A = this chain, B = another copy of it.
Amino acid sequence: MPEPFSFRLIASDGMARRGEFVTPHGRVQTPAFMPVGTQATVKGLHPEAVAETGAEIVLGNTYHLMLRPGPERIAALGGLHKFMNWQRPILTDSGGFQVMSLSSLRKLTERAVTFRSHIDGTMFELSPERSIEIQALLGADISMQLDECLKLPATRDEIERAMKLSLRWAERSKRAFEGREREGYALFGIVQGGDDLGLRATSARELVDIGFEGYAIGGLAVGEPQAVMLEVVEETTPALPAERPRYLMGVGTPHDLLEAVRRGIDMFDCVMPTRNGRHGMAFTRFGSINLSNARHAHDPRPLDELSPHPAARTYSRAYLHHLTKANEILGGVLLSTINIAYYQDLMAGMRAAIADGRFEAFYAETMAGWTQGDIAPL
């Protein structure tokens, strides 16, 4: 029998929290950053390399996997963990976000969203029940409810309509999840409400009434200023139960992570370390560094000689510049690895600082370090 999902709060420092959750595939220390494994692979990295960065959990995308190769096929092959050779925890999103951002010919009804695949034009339907079914077929340790995620800015009426639909879908998601009796697995609800603090409060309250193993804040990092995002986070986390993990979806830059942990967030996912890595950008203690810049062409120094990750200590900036300019696969592979490793170092630093009651000092030191890079901290 795997251990059932549970979350334990180990320490707090201001609003920042140090915790741990347990899943059928192992434990995860929080605050945690989840690398994104969109199509059953964290782009460019062997699963062993993902683990070596310190990552304890990855995210899989329901939208991409439902289109290709299909959840029934992955289930027949033994589930997503086996398929991608990652034996640690996996969280899957519900597919809602990518339906909105990637597919065409969407039609949203109370019952479901229908859409056309961006790959081959096939029509698909995604309901709360089907999303839960897909995530069960994949074998996700943590499933997410289906929600409707709007781009900001949007009108208050539109935000309210989407938030209320998401609440009704939350209830249906929970019933569907319970019907599957996946003992020890977890379902998270998603707070919506755009940049309207009143709607966010309503969403949080009603989700807590339904009751989930964890709570996400969705619909942020979709075009609004960072200050707006952080205000929503700061006002929303106190409305969520302290004994449940809190997940800020799709966020973000190292600076976003630092600020959001400071406001009570426990979990994150973002494509930024891999996507920016493929475009020649490194995230480091010294800020972000654009390796395609000619100033690095002669530079024999590694990105960070004190990094716990070998790739950041071994390869010269000149070599990473060369690989980036020559469009070599290894450039994207190394920078993606180095970036995820930096994100994991940052999370580990925050966890240690919270446990020691020195989060504010860590925050100040980290912010000061970032001013040494090529450009202002992202």
CB of A273 to closest CB in B, whole Å: 14
B43-A319 in contact (CB<8A): no
The answer to the question of A328 belonging to the interface, with a C-beta cut-off of 8 Å to chain B, is: yes
CB-based nearest B residue for A327: B39
Interface string of A62-93 (1 = CB under 8 A from B): 00000011000100111000011100000000
Q: A40-B322, A316-B77 are in contact. Are A46 and B85 (CB under 8 A)?
A: no
A125 to chain B, nearest CB (A): 22
Give the interface size class of chain A.
35 or more
State whether B41 touches A300 (Cβ < 8 A): no
From A73, A314, A326, name the one whose CB has the most chain B CB atoms within 10 angstroms.
A326
Given contacts A73-B318, A318-B83, contact A78 B328 (CB under 8 A): no
A77/B300 in contact, CB under 8 A: yes
Q: At the interface with chain B, which of A17-25, A132-140, A329-337? A: A329-337
Inter-subunit contact A46/B330 (CB<8 Å): yes
Which residue of B is nearest A40, CB measured?
Answer: B322
Total copies of the chain: 2
Shortest C-beta distance, A103 to chain B (Å), equals: 16
Q: Are A43 and B329 in contact (CB under 8 A)?
A: yes
* A45 & B330 in contact (Cβ 8 Å cutoff): yes
Q: Establish whether residues B85 and A315, one from each chain, have CB atoms under 8 Å apart when the complex forms.
A: yes
Closest B residue by C-beta to A44: B329
A68 to B331, CA, bound (A): 15
Show the binding face of A for B, using Cβ within 8 Å.
Answer: 39-41, 43-46, 68-69, 73, 76-78, 83-85, 297-298, 300, 314-316, 318-319, 321-323, 325-326, 328-330, 332-334
**A44-B330, A44-B333, A83-B316 provided; 9 other pairs, C-beta below 8 A?**
A39-B323, A41-B328, A73-B297, A77-B300, A77-B318, A78-B300, A85-B314, A85-B315, A333-B333
